[in-house]
Amino acid sequence: MKVTFFLPSSLDKNKTGPILEHIQYALDNNDEVTVLICGKAIKTCSVNPIGNPLICFACLNNFDRLIEKFELLQKVTVLKLDSFCEDSYQLNDCNFNTLEDFQNAYWDDKKLDVGWSIVSTFVSATRDISNKLNTKNIKRLNQNYLDCIKVYEKIKSFLKAHHPDRVMIFNGRLFETRAVLRGCQTLNVHCDVLEIAAFEGRNWNIYPNALPHDLNVYSQKLIDTWKGELDELKRQKVGARFYELRKSGAKTNDKSHVGGQNRDLLPENFDVTKKNIVVFNSSEDEIFSIGPEWRKEFTSQEAGVIAISELLEGNSDYHLYLRIHPNLIGVKSQFLFDLLELDRKSNITIIPPESPISSYKLLENASKVVTFGSTIGVEATYWGKPSMTLSDCFYSKIGAAYTIFDYNLRDFLFKNLISKDTDVALKYGFYQMAAGEKFKYWKGDHFRKTKIPNPNLFEKLAYHTYRILNG
């Protein structure tokens, strides 16, 4: 079998390591392996979003170190994407001025969702989802737009020339890998999307011809993983363990965000005799711009909180708390400022991201929980609280929370409801703990107990200096 691995950058060990793992598997299977690298085909990428040429220089040098250090890369064909010519195409002037403008951009009869991918990359890097853009960011996104299309056209050229049986990329959310996935789909070439999975990132998972964020595919894999474990007691125990670890502050499939909190601390004047609605917002870094299939009821989280506040206005039996995600500590963006300014409303108490108030003490004392898709929404279900999500998320398709698309928000707030089925929450927890297969060779910054190389001190100094001098 002819297998191609796309490795656009050598500078991120969390992407390089898993790809090396699967190159080894392919070689063990006697596959004919090609590793396709960028080779300066594009000016920007998710590792180098502003187009720092010295990062490109360091990346290419680091590829040489990878090849020198790991024998398996000396057994494969290494090709540069830059060596493949795109079919001729005409780009119209890109007169975009807002995130929404960019997000709605498509290419090749909508086969390439270029806008969604570049905005996703941008938000991950800047942590700012404000729609308005300054001149510098417009220029940056314009270049990302051009580069995403270039990768898409070049990968099609590569596929036509080399005819691989399958291609593998990592994650696929960011623009350079999304372009490869869409190029493969356009030409009907099988593309495996590799993702780190499960407890502490010890496992890997593959999503055939789909993003890991494809809710239908994700939900089906979740159900299949649950059914694949025939020991009912083990399923229950492992699923429950996920929620116990989260509540204790231990790391699970993500870093813990409650380390700086006092687990017994509630907001001052918290009135347990009232019906306290707690909204846990999301940082949205990775889910802001997946695709149109991720529905959102409100144009912003601020608008969602205001809608709840207005429904509760004049009813002194209710109070609304907004716990801003601790992952937003230190972030300076209009998105966060808008949320903080909601303290002007008399029936809302704002808990800023750096507050030591306990998220889990809030959850324990909440009458109902509302989220925009964050994990604590399904945790609320597990702990017996009625929980509603105002946007699609990884657990909305399996019925682990009420969703605004299936249930009226006013009714959720005012009716006497029970929580969703705890067993469904257990399925989600089990998937987070047990999905995928264990890595054999990659662990942290080592592959087969050999350290994955990094740029040298001179290269780091050079590209950091360039970044400082060029803003």
DSSP assignment of 29-52, as one string?
TT-EEEEEE-SSSSS--SSSTT--
| pLDDT above 90 coverage of the chain, percent | 83
pLDDT tens, position by position, 153-202: 999 999 999 999 999 999 999 999 999 999 999 999 999 999 999 777 78
Task: Please check the confidence at residue 233 and state whether its pLDDT lies above 80.
Answer: yes
Helix (H, G, I), strand (E, B) or coil at 72: helix
C-alpha dihedral sign at 433, 325, 219, 418: positive
> Smallest Cα–Cα separation from 55: which of 16, 114, 12, 84?
12
Q: Specify the pLDDT at position 129.
A: 84
DSSP codes of every residue in 287-298: TTTS-TTS-BSS
Range 229-258 average pLDDT: 87
Most confident segment among 113-122, 245-254, 460-469: 113-122
Residue 253: per-residue pLDDT: 61
Q: Is 55 a residue whose pLDDT tops 90? A: yes
| Mean pLDDT computed over 141-162 | 97
- pLDDT at residue 259 tops 70: no
| Mean pLDDT of the region 33-58 | 96
- pLDDT at position 252, please? 66
Confidence of residue 53 (pLDDT cuts 50, 70, 90): very high
Q: Among 83-97, 191-205, 337-351, 403-417, which stretch is predicted with the lowest mean pLDDT?
A: 83-97
How high is the mean pLDDT of the chain?
94
Q: String of b and e for 326-350 (b: at least 16 CB within 10 Å)?
A: bbbeebeeebbebbeebeebebbbb
Q: Average pLDDT for residues 74-82, to the nearest whole number?
A: 97
Of all residues in the chain, what percent carry a pLDDT higher than 70? 97
Strands in 446-447's sheet, in edge-to-edge order, are 442-443, 446-447, 450-451
CA 426/CA 235 separation, integer angstroms: 8
- pLDDT value at 286 more than 70: no
Sequence-ordered strand ranges (E) for 201-274: 203-208
Band (396; pLDDT cuts 50, 70, 90): very high
Q: What is the arithmetic mean of pLDDT over 380-392?
A: 98
Element at 157 (helix H, strand E): helix 135-162
Residue 388 has pLDDT above 80, yes or no: yes
Residue 2: exposure state from Cβ atoms within 10 A (0-12, 13-18, ≥19): middle
Please state, in angstroms and rounded to a whole number, the distance separating the CA atoms of residues 250 and 468. Answer: 37
| Residue 178, CB-side half-sphere exposure with 13 Å CA sphere | 29
Q: Which residue has better confidence, 131 or 236?
A: 236
pLDDT the model gives residue 434: 94
62 confidence band (pLDDT: 50, 70, 90): very high
Helices H / strands E in the chain, number of each = 15, 16
| All structural domains of the chain | 2-198+437-469 (3.40.50), 232-434 (3.40.50.2000)
Would the CA dihedral through 47, 52, 55, 57 be positive or negative?
Answer: positive
Question: Average pLDDT, stretch 428-443?
Answer: 96
Coil, helix or strand at residue 221: helix
Q: How far apart are the first and last CA of the chain?
A: 46
Q: Answer yes or no: are the C-beta atoms of 226 and 431 closer than 8 Å.
A: yes
Determine the pLDDT at residue 387: 99
| pLDDT at residue 219 tops 80 | yes
The predicted-structure confidence for 327-366, as pLDDT tens digits, reads as follows 899 888 888 999 999 999 999 999 999 999 999 999 999 9
Confidence category of residue 398, pLDDT binned at 50, 70, 90: very high
Q: Which helix (H) or strand (E) holds 258?
A: none
- Residue 254 pLDDT greater than 80, yes or no: no
